[in-house]
Amino acid sequence: MTTELPTPTTDRPAPGQLTFRAPRRGKAPTHLADHDLAGRKDWARELGIPAFRADQVSRHYFERLVTDAAQMTDLPKTGRSELVEGLLPPLLTPVRTLSADDGATLKQVHRLHDGAMVESVLMRYPGRVTMCISSQAGCGMNCPFCATGQAGLTRNLSTAEIVEQVVAAARALRHGDLHGGEEGTHDAQEALRVSNVVFMGMGEALANYKASLGAIHRLVDPAPEGLGMSARGVTMSTVGLVPGIDRLAGEGIPVTLALSLHAPDDELRDELVPINTRWKVDEALDAARRYFEATGRRVSIEYALIRDINDQAWRADLLGEKLNARGRGWVHVNPIPLNPTPGSKWTASRRGVEQQFVERLLAHGIPTTVRDTRGSDIDGACGQLAATV
């Protein structure tokens, strides 16, 4: 059975049309994870709750991943449910969980309070668990090869709606819902926590800057303020919103930046990644280089290889030259075989062509790794998250 995404309040975008401002829909209820610790205490006071309760509930939420009032026995019994409901209103309702790669990949589909849907994908690798999260319902960037972009932007997510995806997944891990590590081994132990989070699900995270930055804080701030993940394990992905990249560089949080480039020349990139009509290839690459200089974090260049469109050897050479023109050792390229979406004319490059593209980049001295396409059989890979259930 297929239930379509509720009709977005935007129309399907015309080719090349960019949508920066999300149509206003009902705002998500305020949640503990929307605030830092000091903000939570102020908010609790406003609700007539003693500030130290915000601390207690933070421990349950960020350390124990618990939202069930019955398990919070350090809170007074009288009024406990109301207190917990006030601070931790339910934001995501699980709609469906799909499994692939012998249980090592899980796609979780969630319904938000207003009926909008978002998806996140959990992938287990030896020694780590990577999670791909959504920052918007839909996306306004309108890349023509991407299922999410074709449906338009429904709305921005709140900080807590972004964080909740990770907390829900961490809980699923604790319950042993993700397979892949050998039981009883070090690997199985390691996999009990989310080690890497990438903002590569639905949406352009830098177009929802404030909420995404708040989510980064909640991921990396030590418990009970946040989940205490390493900033190095967090990757912020963008199609190249240059002011957003510069702003993030100034935040002093060394998360990794991934720039979805997909073409080294403006002529093609204007078509493949319409944001290029605002900020050109050279401007995006200059911003990426500045990001490296500010954070010391090597930038990832994402390059979806699309058959006969952007996979020519000369484009690999041009990319290598443009990266080297900005210095050595600051960048890494991830070619990604495109995940074909139904009804789309875009498809993945031939194997030999992919291989040649990689070899050309390596010949320029650019570290290059083809990214795997985990989850492609459940539409859970990059550019395929369109939230149909």
Q: Tell me, what DSSP letter sits at residue 60?
A: I
- The reply on whether position 381 binds ligand SF4 by CB under 6 A is no
How does strand 196-198 pair with strand 128-132?
A: parallel
204 is in an annotated binding site: yes
Structure tokens that stand for 283 in this block: 């401007």
Nearest to 102 by CA among 187, 195, 182, 197: 182
Tell me phi and psi for residue 324, to 5 degrees: -65, -30
Nearer to ligand SF4, 141 or 257 (CB): 141
Distance (Å, rounded) from C-alpha 326 to C-alpha 290? 10
Among 8, 233, 375, 383, binds ligand SF4 (CB under 6 A): 383
Does residue 119 carry a catalytic annotation?
yes
Which residues are 94's β-sheet partners? 110
Give me the catalytic one of 85, 119, 251, 302.
119
Q: What is the dihedral of CA 253, 254, 255, 258, to 10 degrees?
A: 120
318 is in an annotated binding site: no
203 is in an annotated binding site: yes
Alpha helix (H) ranges present in the chain?
37-46, 51-58, 80-87, 147-150, 159-174, 186-190, 209-220, 242-249, 266-272, 281-295, 313-324, 351-363
Among 148, 156, 212, 276, binds ligand SF4 (CB under 6 A): 148
- The reply on whether position 139 binds ligand SF4 by CB under 6 A is yes
339 is in an annotated binding site: yes
Q: How far is the CB of 207 from ligand SF4 (least distance, A)?
A: 8
Among 141, 162, 163, 336, binds ligand SF4 (CB under 6 A): 141
Residue of this chain nearest to ligand SF4 (CB atom): 149
Structure tokens that stand for 32 in this block: 């503990």
135 is in an annotated binding site: no
Does residue 382 carry a catalytic annotation?
yes
Nearer to ligand SF4, 141 or 378 (CB): 141
- The reply on whether position 143 binds ligand SF4 by CB under 6 A is yes
Q: Which residues are annotated as a binding site for [4Fe-4S] cluster?
A: 139, 143, 146
Q: Which residues are annotated as a binding site?
A: 139, 143, 146, 203-204, 237, 260-262, 339
Give the residues lining the site for ligand SF4 (CB under 6 A): 139, 141-143, 146, 148-149, 202-204, 239, 383
